[in-house]
Amino acid sequence: MKTGYFIINPHSGQQIIQSKLKEIIGQLILDQFINRAECVYTKKDRTIDDVVDLKKIRKFDFIVAVGGDGTINQVVDYIARHDIEVPLVILGAGTVNDFASFVKIPRTPGKIVKMIEDFHTIKSDIGKINDSHFINVVAGGMFADVSYVTSTSDKKILGPLSYTINAITNLQDHLSRLIPLKVKVDSQEFTVDARLFLIANSKHIGGFNRMVPYASIQDGKLDLQILKNCNAVELVQFTTELLLGNHVNTPKVEYYQGSCIEISSDVNDVFVDIDGEKGPQLPIKIEALKQKLTIIVPKE
């Protein structure tokens, strides 16, 4: 029998998955798949290094991360920093859960149990930004801060709609800002004025399942997508094309792939979002770490 180490954010989202954990763990025990499950809980005033026992976690057969995109990011960063080779189960319990959606993680206890018991693993790329890691996206510019400036209460009540409301409310402020970027993708260098830029590992960003259509989590590359200068009408046109999956073919979008991406700006206060959490200011250097992470996913 196996052992599972559960890292849980008890406050993510509407606590739907968290409320089902006893049922999930109980069924794994009844099925004699595991004989030990240990649960630790994240806290706002403590880092993941404070709550996770490094020596202990290495001895478990699998790790389960339960939380939103930010919690998943913290667990992935911890695993990468300490070169932990234990397979990871991702249970998205946040507002959007982009990466969990991309790898088709189930939402019901029975299907989650089956996925874990099947123990089907794949190798996934992750990204390294400066001295930390991410699993899904780094973003800057227009709407990039919406996940962490939207209040927790709004997220719990309205779910993903809270992000849309926040973005519309602050649209004029976003349209008033244009960021001059200096970009290097592998050996290619260029400058561009951007409203928004994304460096993505998966296709799913901000609840859109085709935001970065050519992204793959197993190709050893990251995808850079830049929305150039546009007005309100052009932004609406971009959004329409985005819903249709055609936005990368519009003249306002530039798209690149590379294993190393560097971005800087003459503007001093450009912060980036990392998997839904506030990250550092520019400049940033981002590298793709090919198939660095082992994750448990449903069998196709």
Tens of pLDDT along 34-83?
A: 999 999 999 887 889 999 999 999 999 999 999 888 889 999 999 999 99
List 234, 254, 277, 287, catalytic entry: 277
172: pLDDT confidence band, cut at 50, 70 and 90? low
Q: Distance between CA atoms of 144 and 237, rounded to whole angstroms?
A: 19
Do 157 and 261 lie in one domain? The reply is yes
287 is catalytic: no
pLDDT digits (tens, 9 = 90+) for 77-122: 999 999 999 999 999 877 678 899 999 999 999 999 999 999 999 9
169 and 261 housed in the same domain: yes
pLDDT of 262 higher than 60: yes
User: How large is the average pLDDT for residues 241-255?
Assistant: 84
Where does a domain end: 124, 153, 176?
A: 124
Q: What are 249's two structure tokens?
A: 């073919």
Same domain? 68 vs 144: no
Which residue, 70, 94, 124, sits at the end of a domain? 124
Q: Could you tell me the two tokens for 9?
A: 């954010």
Q: Which helix (H) or strand (E) is 244 found in, with range?
A: helix 232-244
How far out from the chain centre does Cα 101 lie? 10
Check which CATH number belongs to the domain holding 19 and give it.
Answer: 3.40.50.10330
Mean pLDDT of 11-39: 86
Judgement on whether residues 208 and 251 belong to the same structural domain of the protein = yes
d(CA 144, CA 57): 33
Highest mean pLDDT among 24-33, 94-103, 235-244: 24-33
Task: Decide if 272 is inside a domain.
Answer: yes
Residues 152 and 258 in one domain: yes
Closest CA to 71 of 87, 54, 55, 95: 95
The whole-number pLDDT of residue 149 equals: 52
Is the pLDDT at 1 greater than 60, yes or no? yes
32 and 90 together in one domain:
yes
Domain that holds residue 40: 2-124
Q: State residue 87's pLDDT score.
A: 98
| pLDDT value, residue 253 | 92
pLDDT given at position 165:
41
Q: What angle do CA 119, 120, 121 make, to 5 degrees?
A: 110
Q: Considering the chain, what is the average pLDDT of its residues?
A: 86
Question: What is residue 280's predicted lDDT score, i.e. its pLDDT?
Answer: 92
Give the Å distances, CA to CA, from 160 to 71, 146, 150: 17, 11, 10
Residue 198 lies in a domain: yes
One domain, residues 35 and 146: no
Model's pTM, two decimal places?
0.87
Let me know whether 105 and 154 are in one domain: no
Average pLDDT over residues 151-163: 45
Please report whether residue 118 resides in a domain.
yes
